[in-house]
Amino acid sequence: MASDRSAGAQGRRAGPLIVTEDEALLDDLLRLCAAAGAEPEVHHSVPERRSGWESAPLILVGDDAAVRVRGAARRRGVLLVGRDQDDPGVWQRAVEIGADHVLRLPDAEQWLVDRIADAAEGVGRQALTVGVVGGRGGAGASTLACALAVTAARAGRRTMLIDGDPLGGGLDVLLGGEQAEGRRWPDFAASRGRVAGGALEESLPHLHALRVLSWDRGDSVAIPAEAMRAVLAAARRRGGVVVVDLPRRVDDAVAEALAQLDLGLLVVPAELRAVAAANRVASSVGMVLRDLRAVVRGPYAAGLDEQWVAAALGLPLAGELPVEYGLLEAQEKGAPPGSEVRGPLSRFCTAFWEQALTGGAVA
């Protein structure tokens, strides 16, 4: 018979099957499931419904219940959990029930939270993660980041846009959603360890068919490196595509973001001063990110073209970004970058995703 102690938070994904009568251990396991954003099903022995044992994404068997599950079907994902660090018989019980691992609490708590979250979310292909950085101020990196996200979402891909530049004014403003309900970066500033991907996605503002993590209008202007690592890892586990708008400076938080990118796009206006500035940015970013590519934006100064700019930076050319007239006027009317399907910005982004998602843009 199922216990009435299972977590009841609505909106959480299905979690593990817990088998125990140990009240103290059950309290610990329910707390860890809550931390992983998962809702468990609790039984005192093998469920009468055979499918409950066989279909659970993960099974946590308490030490006290090992004898009661001996006859259950052998399967992967069974963990034997207890708190006695010096119990010599635990390994024998693990063999008898076919457990993959033996866990002792509290030492294994963080590992177990990660495993529960993986099981609840499912383990699939991670998101293609693209970072965009400007070669100089006003290069148009934020505009391109928004357009990439809008274009991907319009094509039906799961899309998350992350604003990694606290001094950039907020990508939610570019998307016309500064008043939209949802969490912003200051809500995640204390994040450590693991953030549940599903909970992250559901908590963010939903704009133009994508999720966006941006800034509020407060005074906070720093992302701790640990928070950037945890949040971006959670976003990537959801699959689809993740676009990250990055500042030109490389601090600890930006380095964490760069380390998780599949590729980076350096937006460079086609003028000599911009190329000189972009060269310094490329040098800093390239110390962390292996795959950095140039996006050259017109209009062009005399004697320059996109091939010359990319060669001067020593970077592969990701493409030429033509001028899109009327972009600012469209944004003032609530149309985000990339919303004009036939516009040059949208066409560039569509071509980029077609190549990137078939493997052509990822080394």
Residue 107: predicted pLDDT: 93
Cα–Cα separations (whole angstroms), residue 283 to 61, 68, 243, 250: 52, 61, 21, 10
Please state whether beta strands 13-19 and 38-43 pair in parallel, antiparallel, or not at all (unpaired): parallel
Residue 214 in contact with residue 249, Cβ under 8 Å? Answer: no
Whole-angstrom distance, CA of residue 6 vs CA of residue 1: 12
**Tokens 């990439």 found at:** 148
Residue 13: predicted pLDDT: 52
Q: Which residue, among 327, 276, 271, has the nearest Cα to 304 in the 3D structure?
A: 271
Mean pLDDT value of segment 236-265: 94
Whole-angstrom distance, CA of residue 312 vs CA of residue 276: 9
How much helix, strand and coil, in percent to the nearest 5, is found in the chain? 40, 20, 45
Whole-angstrom distance, CA of residue 232 vs CA of residue 197: 9
Q: Which tops the pLDDT comparison, 9 or 49? A: 49
Residue 8: predicted pLDDT: 38
Residue 1: predicted pLDDT: 40
Residue 260 has pLDDT above 50, yes or no: yes
How many CB atoms neighbour CB 74 within 10 A? 7
Q: Could you give the angle at the alpha carbon of 306 between the alpha carbons of 305 and 312, nearest 5°? A: 95
Mean pLDDT value of segment 40-64: 91
Q: Could you give the angle at the alpha carbon of 278 between the alpha carbons of 277 and 284, nearest 5°? A: 105
Residue 43: predicted pLDDT: 95
Q: Tell me the pLDDT tens digit for each residue of 137-196.
A: 999 999 999 999 999 999 999 999 999 998 888 899 889 898 899 999 999 988 877 787
Residue 350: predicted pLDDT: 95
Residue 195: predicted pLDDT: 82
Confidence of residue 311 (pLDDT cuts 50, 70, 90): very high
For the ranges 19-33, 36-50, 242-256, 264-278, the lowest mean pLDDT is seen at 36-50
Q: Tell me the pLDDT tens digit for each residue of 74-91.
A: 999 999 999 987 888 999
Confidence of residue 223 (pLDDT cuts 50, 70, 90): confident
> Can you read off the two tokens belonging to residue 263?
């590729």
Residue 123: predicted pLDDT: 58
What integer best gives the mean pLDDT of the chain?
89
Burial class (CB in 10 A: 0-12, 13-18, 19+), 313: buried
Residue 38 has pLDDT above 90, yes or no: no
Q: Which residue, among 51, 70, 48, has the nearest Cα to 61 in the 3D structure?
A: 70
pTM of the model: 0.74
Residue 86: predicted pLDDT: 83
Mean pLDDT value of segment 33-55: 88
Residue 50: predicted pLDDT: 75
Q: Which tops the pLDDT comparison, 339 or 219? A: 339
The DSSP 8-state label assigned to residue 64 in this structure reads G
For the ranges 34-38, 122-126, 284-288, the lowest mean pLDDT is seen at 122-126
Confidence of residue 328 (pLDDT cuts 50, 70, 90): confident
Whole-angstrom distance, CA of residue 178 vs CA of residue 356: 30
Residues 6+ apart with CB under 8 A from 342: none
Residue 245: predicted pLDDT: 97
Residue 105 has pLDDT above 70, yes or no: yes
Residue 64: predicted pLDDT: 96
Residue 218 has pLDDT above 70, yes or no: yes
Alpha carbon distance, N-terminus to C-terminus of the chain: 53
Residue 362 has pLDDT above 60, yes or no: no
Residue 315 in contact with residue 282, Cβ under 8 Å? Answer: yes
Residue 145 in contact with residue 336, Cβ under 8 Å? Answer: no
Residue 161 in contact with residue 243, Cβ under 8 Å? Answer: yes
Whole-angstrom distance, CA of residue 205 vs CA of residue 219: 20
Mean pLDDT value of segment 111-131: 84
Residue 237 in contact with residue 210, Cβ under 8 Å? Answer: no
